[in-house]
Amino acid sequence: MNVSIEAATAKDAEAIANIHFESLREGYAGKLPQEYLDMPVTDWRINAWKKWIARSKVRTLVAKEDDQNVGFCTLQPFNENPPNKETAEIVALFVQPDKWRHGVGVILCKGIESEAKAAGFSKLALWVLESNENARNFYKAQGYQLQTGDRIFLETANEPLLEVMYRKSLVQ
Ligand SMILES: CC(C)(COP(=O)(O)OP(=O)(O)OC[C@H]1O[C@@H](n2cnc3c(N)ncnc32)[C@H](O)[C@@H]1OP(=O)(O)O)[C@@H](O)C(=O)NCCC(=O)NCCS
């Protein structure tokens, strides 16, 4: 695969919104409520991505293969209590399902780590659904370490869906 990464612009918003939901539907089937996965990609959602991309503290990278978007990764300062200016959070990493296990996730992850370092962050954190074994294995393979504790991502009729946290130091 000939994949390059670049900073997202407003022109990428529609592709990002589509990849987000295609990847969610495939990766979270049976893990998130079906009505959540069935949500359509609306203009509202595309415009929300445009606004998100334009925010100065948020960085989104897109991965492109032959000018086609195949994945994206979004970083923002980590909202931690007490405030911690050293840590940034990966808030989204999604690859188009037909490109999984082709190395796109690694390219995006390394790219966002470079962005974080360039912006002065020395640590990364992220939350991932506890049942999302694929993503957890991916992050583990990239050197992210599971932290103790969890948080509720979504209350459901049965039991709450939990997220767990991973962290990685960017300083060797
Ligand atoms: C998680 C995700 C981003 C990984 O992207 P990807 O492009 O498939 O990952 P890569 O091909 O770069 O994988 C790199 C390495 O990570 C590990 N890895 C990736 N997916 C894995 C899986 N399903 N199971 C076990 N290990 C996995 C492997 O070590 C892999 O190397 P290998 O293929 O040579 O064995 C992708 O599967 C995805 O978009 N999933 C749905 C969305 C999601 O869950 N995002 C995370 C939200 S927090």
Rounded to the nearest angstrom, the distance between the alpha carbon of 101 and the centre of ligand 1 is 6
What pTM was computed for the model? 0.96
Rounded to the nearest angstrom, the distance between the alpha carbon of 44 and the centre of ligand 1 is 29
Task: Output the domain CATH number for residue 151.
Answer: 3.40.630.30
Rounded to the nearest angstrom, the distance between the alpha carbon of 64 and the centre of ligand 1 is 17
Domain of residue 122 covers 3-169
pLDDT at residue 92, as a whole number = 98
CA proximity to 45, closest of 14, 90, 74, 9: 14
pLDDT tens for 43-80 read 999 999 999 999 999 999 999 999 999 999 999 999 88
* Cα–Cα distance for residue pair 167/56, rounded to 1 Å: 23
User: Which atom of ligand 1 is the closest one to the Cα of 96?
Assistant: 39
Pairing of strands 145-154, 161-169: antiparallel
The residue whose CA has the least distance to atom 29 of ligand 1 is: 141
pLDDT mean across residues, the chain: 95
Q: Which structure tokens are listed for 122? A: 């020395």
CA proximity to 15, closest of 61, 82, 84, 83: 61
Using a pLDDT cut of 90, give the percent of the chain over it: 90
Q: Which of 89, 108, 134, 139 to mutate to test the pocket of ligand 1 (most atoms within 8 A of CB)?
A: 134
When divided into structural domains, the chain yields a total of: 1
